[in-house]
Structure 1
Amino acid sequence: MAIAPDYKLHDIVEMKKPHACGANSWEITRVGADIKLSCTNCGRGIMMSRFDFNKRIKKILQVANQKEE
C-alpha cells in the first residue's frame, strides 16, 4: 500500500478533470477527513472525502508558504 502525500492548507493542486469554468488549479482551504477546495479562477468551493481527493489529484502545483511566527 502506497503512502499518500501530506497536503497542507493553501497548497495549489491540479486535478485530473478541469472545473466547468475552464481552470484546472484548486487551492486547498480545509484539510481533515474531508478536503475542501476553491477554484483559483472563479472561487467556487467544493468538498470531497480524502479518499476521492487522492484518486482525483494529478499533482501539486505550488506548496504553500508556511510562515513561522
Structure 2
Amino acid sequence: MVQLNVGDIVRLRKPHPCGSSEWKIMRTGMDFRIQCIGCQHQAWIPRIKLERNIKEILQRAEED
C-alpha cells in the first residue's frame, strides 16, 4: 500500500484529455479526490485504482 497524503502530486499512467498526467491529491480515504494540474478538473477515484495507476510521486506535501 502506497502512503499518500493530501497535497501530494502524482503522475498517472494515462494522461487526462487536457494533456496533463499530473494530479494533486485533495482528499484521502477509501476513495480519493484528485485534481488535474492542467485544467483544475476534480474527480473521485477508488484507492485501489489510483494506487495501480500511479507512475511516480512527483512531490510530497509539506509536513508541519
- Which TM-score tier does this pair reach, normalised by the shorter chain? over 0.9
**Cα deviation 1:11-66 (Å, max 9, x = unaligned):** 00000000100011000000001011000110000111101111111110000112
Unpaired runs of 5+ in structure 2? Answer: none
| In the alignment, structure 1 residue 12 sits paired with structure 2 residue 9 | yes
Instruction: Please identify runs of 4+ aligned residues in structure 1 that moved more than 2 A.
Output: none
Q: RMSD value over aligned CA atoms?
A: 0.7
| In the alignment, structure 1 residue 41 sits paired with structure 2 residue 43 | no
Greater C-alpha Rg: 1
Percent identity, please: 34
How many pairs are equivalent? 64
| TM-score (ref. length: structure 1) | 0.88
